Structure 1
Amino acid sequence: MSRIKILHVVRPAAGGMKNHLINLVRYTDKKRFDVTVACPPNTALWDELVALGIQTLPISLVGELSPTRDYAAVRSLVKYLHQSGTTILHAHSSKGALVGRLAAIMARTPVVIFTAHNSIFYEEWPEWKKKLFARVERFLARFTDKIITVSDALKQELMEREGLPVKQLTTIYNGIEVDRFNAKVDVKAVRRNLNIPELGPVVGTIARLAPQKGVSYFLKAASLLKEYQVNFLVVGDGPLEETLKQEAAELGLQGRVIFAGRRENIAEILSVLDIFVLPSITEGLPLTILEAMAAGKPVVATRVGGVPEAIVEGKTGLVVAPKDPEALAVALAGLIGERDRLMRMGTNGQKHVREKFTVSMMVEKTMELYQQLLAEKKLIQGKGQN
């Protein structure tokens, strides 16, 4: 039996979405599926895919709407879909889904899937833009066989805000390679490399420094904990980097907050943390909290998106309201210095991730969905399921 051709379509991706896609294509069964990824060249995602030997297709896709580039990307995709005989188009992110699904409609690709990684209703968007985007999504959903959401909270939002039917939506949780975050590390050497003082616990966040990640609230919470001998760590880069550094200085956090920039050795960095913080304003199901739990670290995160689905309150971490630095500071103050409680939460977190959020689970459920849709359309032998 010939392999089923799959084309993944994605905009320039970093962080969680990039890691999600790489894990998905890397571990998809190559005996059953022939996988290609369409994405912009000269990006971190492209370079990693090439290094892994994954087939790639260059397209001119950018994050923001760009009629000229988007039209060129649609044309490239339509040509490829026709020539390659692709059976499944799997789009990621709202922008990838817009361009990918338009191409799939024009090329009459048999199976069309969209993974929604995050809310499209970013708070900084004006209301007219949110309504327009929801209307476009409703239209394109008519040509989509299944929409995967990475959390039940995101699934509920798409039902309520876009009016999508429940039968069209399915939740497949993000997954990680758990063992990568449980290796032995020279903690003292990592602290030195990050310029973290030898004394005092480390409370840190790893995030793109963009508005939706809420790092400003992390800094405000840190400023409320000045009497504690705590080192605060911010790992990541992004458009707000200089603004956040200036805010830290204005809050009197010189010498207390270390901005480490973008780092690739996330497992090593997690090893030096005593508590991991995710202060986001919006999320789907962030990989960073799963990675932190896999590394045996308690998590304090905001109650947004799928975060409460990943954290067992009081057992693997604590959940607080978003945009509330006082609540975040109170949660951290209650954990700092409670060594036994931190260790217990960390152990619980490792067990929880192994039971619910592994890469193998994520990939297997995605492949099962492929098989189900192919069978329903009588493209393979088998019985479709609802």
Structure 2
Amino acid sequence: MSKIKILHVVRPAAGGLKNHLINLVRYTDKNKFDVTVACPPNCPLFEELTSLGIKTLPIPLLGELSPTKDYAVVRTLVKYLHQSGTTILHAHSSKGALVGRIAAIIARTPVVLFTVHNSIFYEEWPQWKKSLFAYVERLLARFTDRIITVSEALKQELIENEKIPAKQISTIYNGIEVDKFTAKVDMLSIRKELNIPELGPVIGTIARLAPQKGVTYFLKAASLLKEYQVNFLVVGDGPLRESLEQEVIELGLQKRVVFTGNRENIADILSMMDIFVLPSVTEGLPLTILEAMAAGKPVVATRVGGVPEAIVEGKTGLVVAPRDPEALAVALAGMLSERDKLIRMGLNGQKHVVEKFTIQHMVDRTTELYTQLLANKKLSADGVQGQQETDRHGMEG
């Protein structure tokens, strides 16, 4: 029997979105599905996909709107969808979903899905832009067989803001490779590599240094804990790095805060931390808190998006209000005073991730959804192939 052909469409991606897509593609059953990813070349996602031997389709897709290039992307996708006989188009992120679904409509692709990874209503947007975006999404949703959200919070946002019917939305939680984060490491050597003093606990965050990640609130909380002998770690890079480094100087934290930039050995770094912090102002379901729990670390994170769905309050970590450095500092101070509680929360977190947030669980739920949608349309691999042959001959005639 022929394999079902899937085309994933995504904008330039790094961080959690990149890791989510790579894991989904890597672990999708190759005996049943033939997978290709359409994404821009010369970005971390494209480079990693090609290094893994995953089929790619280069497209000039930008993160922001660009009518000329977006039109070119749609044309490329339509041509590929027709020629390849693709059965399922699975778009990721709002920009990938815009061009991907338009192409799928034109190409009459049988099954269309869209995964929402984060809030699509940014607070800094003017109201007219939010309203326009909601209208476009509501229109395209009519041509989408299923919308996947990575948290129940995102599902509720789509229901309330876009008036998407609940039955059209499925929540599938992000998943991680738990085993990657359980290995023992030489913590002193990692501290030395990152120029962290040997003494004192390490409280760290891993994030793109952009406004939505709220790292400034992490630094402000650190300034409220000066009497503690704590080392603070900021892993990642981004447009705010220079201003955040300047803020450290203004707060008098030069000897306490270390910026590492982007790092590949995230599992080793997490293993060396005592507490992981995610101070975001908006999120979907961040992989970093799942990875921290898998590494056996208690988590303090903000009450945004799907974060409260991942953290069991008081058992695997603590959840605080966003943009509130005082509340964050109080939570951290309480944890630092109870070493046994830190260890207990870390162990609870490991168990929680294994039960609910593995890659296999995420992939199984996604592929079950593919199969269900194909069955709803009375399609099989052979049936789809036959229909597409008919469509192509009709076009040629």
TM-score of Structure 1 vs Structure 2, range by shorter chain: over 0.9
**Cross-structure match for 2:351:** 351
Q: Provide the C-alpha distance between the structure 1 equivalents of 2:275 and 2:172, rounded to a whole number of angstroms.
A: 27
Q: Provide the C-alpha distance between the structure 2 equivalents of 1:135 and 1:257, rounded to a whole number of angstroms.
A: 44
Q: What is the Cα deviation at residue 380 of structure 1?
A: 1.9
**Cross-structure match for 1:56:** 56
Amino acid corresponding to residue 124 of structure 1 in structure 2: E
**Cross-structure match for 1:11:** 11
Amino acid corresponding to residue 165 of structure 2 in structure 1: P
Amino acid corresponding to residue 214 of structure 2 in structure 1: G
Amino acid corresponding to residue 358 of structure 2 in structure 1: T
Q: What is the Cα deviation at residue 368 of structure 1?
A: 0.1
Q: What is the Cα deviation at residue 337 of structure 1?
A: 3.7
RMSD, aligned α-carbons: 0.7
**Cross-structure match for 2:272:** 272
Q: What is the Cα deviation at residue 188 of structure 1?
A: 0.5
Q: Provide the C-alpha distance between the structure 1 equivalents of 2:23 and 2:259, rounded to a whole number of angstroms.
A: 28
Q: What is the Cα deviation at residue 294 of structure 1?
A: 0.1
Q: Provide the C-alpha distance between the structure 1 equivalents of 2:154 and 2:63, rounded to a whole number of angstroms.
A: 20
Q: Provide the C-alpha distance between the structure 2 equivalents of 1:219 and 1:175, rounded to a whole number of angstroms.
A: 29
Q: Provide the C-alpha distance between the structure 2 equivalents of 1:188 and 1:124, rounded to a whole number of angstroms.
A: 42
Q: Provide the C-alpha distance between the structure 1 equivalents of 2:63 and 2:130, rounded to a whole number of angstroms.
A: 16
Q: What is the Cα deviation at residue 124 of structure 1?
A: 1.5
CA deviations over 1:307-328 (Å, ceiling 9, x no partner)? 0000000000000000000000
Q: What are the within-5 Å matches in structure 2 for residues 82-97 of structure 1?
A: 82-97=82-97
**Cross-structure match for 1:148:** 148
**Cross-structure match for 1:331:** 331
Q: What is the Cα deviation at residue 165 of structure 1?
A: 0.1
**Cross-structure match for 2:123:** 123
Q: What is the Cα deviation at residue 67 of structure 1?
A: 0.8
Of stretches 280-289 and 127-136 in structure 1, the one that deviates more from structure 2 is: 127-136
**Cross-structure match for 1:378:** 378
Amino acid corresponding to residue 321 of structure 1 in structure 2: A
**Cross-structure match for 2:299:** 299
Q: What is the Cα deviation at residue 205 of structure 1?
A: 0.2
Q: Provide the C-alpha distance between the structure 1 equivalents of 2:39 and 2:380, rounded to a whole number of angstroms.
A: 28
**Cross-structure match for 2:20:** 20
Of stretches 299-308 and 249-258 in structure 1, the one that deviates more from structure 2 is: 249-258
Q: Provide the C-alpha distance between the structure 1 equivalents of 2:216 and 2:65, rounded to a whole number of angstroms.
A: 28
TM-score by length of 2: 0.95
Q: Answer yes or no: is 1:106 the counterpart of 2:106.
A: yes
Q: Provide the C-alpha distance between the structure 2 equivalents of 1:326 and 1:287, rounded to a whole number of angstroms.
A: 25
Q: What is the Cα deviation at residue 192 of structure 1?
A: 0.3
CA deviations over 1:27-55 (Å, ceiling 9, x no partner)? 00000000000000111100110111100
Q: Secondary structure at the match of 1:135?
A: helix
Amino acid corresponding to residue 314 of structure 1 in structure 2: G
Q: Provide the C-alpha distance between the structure 1 equivalents of 2:191 and 2:125, rounded to a whole number of angstroms.
A: 39
Q: Provide the C-alpha distance between the structure 1 equivalents of 2:234 and 2:173, rounded to a whole number of angstroms.
A: 26
Q: Provide the C-alpha distance between the structure 1 equivalents of 2:185 and 2:252, rounded to a whole number of angstroms.
A: 32
Identity of aligned residues (%): 81
Q: Secondary structure at the match of 1:259?
A: strand
Structure 1 unmatched ranges of 5 or more = 382-386
CA deviations over 1:173-223 (Å, ceiling 9, x no partner)? 000000000011111100000000000000000000000000000000000
Q: What are the within-5 Å matches in structure 2 for residues 216-231 of structure 1?
A: 216-231=216-231
Q: What is the Cα deviation at residue 156 of structure 1?
A: 0.4
CA deviations over 1:37-89 (Å, ceiling 9, x no partner)? 00001111001101111000000101011111111111100000000000000
Q: Provide the C-alpha distance between the structure 2 equivalents of 1:264 and 1:162, rounded to a whole number of angstroms.
A: 38
Amino acid corresponding to residue 256 of structure 1 in structure 2: R
**Cross-structure match for 1:384:** none
Q: Secondary structure at the match of 1:332?
A: helix
Q: Provide the C-alpha distance between the structure 2 equivalents of 1:274 and 1:338, rounded to a whole number of angstroms.
A: 12
Q: What is the Cα deviation at residue 128 of structure 1?
A: 1.1
Q: Secondary structure at the match of 1:76?
A: helix
Q: Provide the C-alpha distance between the structure 1 equivalents of 2:21 and 2:195, rounded to a whole number of angstroms.
A: 32
Moved over 4 A (4+): none
**Cross-structure match for 1:163:** 163
Q: Provide the C-alpha distance between the structure 2 equivalents of 1:313 and 1:301, rounded to a whole number of angstroms.
A: 10
TM-score by length of 1: 0.98
Q: Provide the C-alpha distance between the structure 1 equivalents of 2:191 and 2:277, rounded to a whole number of angstroms.
A: 18
Q: Secondary structure at the match of 1:334?
A: helix
Amino acid corresponding to residue 157 of structure 1 in structure 2: E
Structure 2 unmatched ranges of 5 or more = 382-397
